[in-house]
Structure 1
């Protein structure tokens, strides 16, 4: 039995190209209640009166970029899942969308209709499951156990003590220079936030971050790096649902704000497990044949116990 208009999910598509909006109408008119806007301004006016479950926006539009739109839309309709369509690699724009728009997925143009359909379906499902639990502006209640720790994964041994100095004595910061050391800390300590470079010992961390998010969804990841590229940033959001992106050299106030926010997000996820649906990740590619050590590390991640009940 098909859903009625009253129960259908509401999806807003924003693009300045009429042919794209026409394509979206054809693809999704039988699935959802659809709304369309040809630019950021008209989309925001619509959102003032029409709350939606999912917003799908192009990035490159005249007057207002997709990231600017999604940032403003987050204020008007914070529960909506946000998807960005992008046909070019602009690292600053991608970092902005992570830090300010909290994007659920990036979808590269030209897209596959099958992949786009599946992505929007996942976003709709996440929106429906988490609307009651999602309270982005709420302050989590303090738990009775130990404050969750912050794990810093970086080749540079000076980074963890620097972050400890920035955060102050109220925070417990653990340093790791290899992914194996990082997993060891996660096995022993109640970690709430992982701060990591995009590569450690010249190995990308996306598989580790993604596997952590799959098996410990309450963990919140922040990427700290000076050598990011647009492709790795997109992989980290789609496969790892990273929460914030900080560029080196470290700016003290930016770092402290990001980590404080990440810890509050960790507590929200720990207290309301349904919220984890909003941060589902794509399955990361399997390690290359012969990468026995990498596969063994990911298997250890899958067996990590949750520390949530110890401090919530």
Structure 2
């Protein structure tokens, strides 16, 4: 590849892979690199540096540009510090990721929670500035954009809808509460309710339900109702124009949107107030090939 006008780099650091993008000033992706993520503080830094080095080789540019990072866990965006990213082996003291990676790369680095980074990527891809990105993965959490800007909250907890208790008689949640939405409306909850031998319980469940299996239909509908409850809470709180479904379970694509929309329509059939808000009509699933978290991370680097 010949020289290109790269203005920022975005890294989506996940438990299994790290995706890196080189992006120009219009938000166009000009290069993309994936590598397995090495666990632990040193492994995360090593993997990120290797991805940037490969992007430099692919683009033929030194990439002395800002680097944005989206990473799971509790992220202090102002300080660039990450805590409790368990799937990355970051379980001890806080990791000053911004400073360590900036020293390694020789460029400015911005660090953000991965759901928030994905929210910015979804805003850029859809063109909707008032947007909720609902990540349905191992857990359940949302990123909130208001007029195109992230809303994190005073403690960075805005959008932690998965930890809203909805069933006092429900299951214990990892957060210490009981009956949280995450215990019924997350990838881990779905896997527990529909255990399979392979790594794709969501696909297996929806396929069985589509084939008419009564038990699968019941499990699918309970899961969809839980996600619909999260959508309802978010829409009644921030009233976004669009709710983008993301995370690992969203790899199901439109069947997921249809199931959640059906649950929302069922709820609205008994509540004219909800019916007037057209919550089901706000749902959207982006194509699986759109790397919203890495794209959003790259856009972080372009912001003042």
Same fold (TM over 0.5): no
